[in-house]
Amino acid sequence: MGDRFRVTQDSYTEARNKLSSNKGNVIRQAEMLKQLGVKQTKSMPASIVDMASEAGVVTD
């Protein structure tokens, strides 16, 4: 059972990193679209945007 928890944790960490780290991540792309004038209907949770900001990815 411990191995399954570790695999689950690794999968979660990998998905979170793809969402909020590196240049091509989803949050960066969404923020770039917002800067280009795309109107948003929903906002991202502040915790996710903060996580990307701490990684130095999102710039205002």
Quick check: is 60 in a domain?
no
Quick check: is 22 in a domain?
yes
pLDDT by residue (tens digit) across 23-34?
A: 678 887 888 888
Q: What is the pTM of this model?
A: 0.51
Secondary structure (3-state) at 18: helix
Distance CA 40, CA 25 (A): 18
The alpha carbons of the chain give a radius of gyration, in whole angstroms, of 14
48 Cβ contact partners less than 8 Å away, ≥ 6 residues apart: 19, 20, 27
Q: How confident is the model at residue 3 (pLDDT cuts 50, 70, 90)?
A: very high
| Residue 9: pLDDT over 90 | yes
Q: How confident is the model at residue 56 (pLDDT cuts 50, 70, 90)?
A: low
Secondary structure (3-state) at 28: helix
The total number of structural domains that make up the chain: 1
Q: How confident is the model at residue 49 (pLDDT cuts 50, 70, 90)?
A: confident
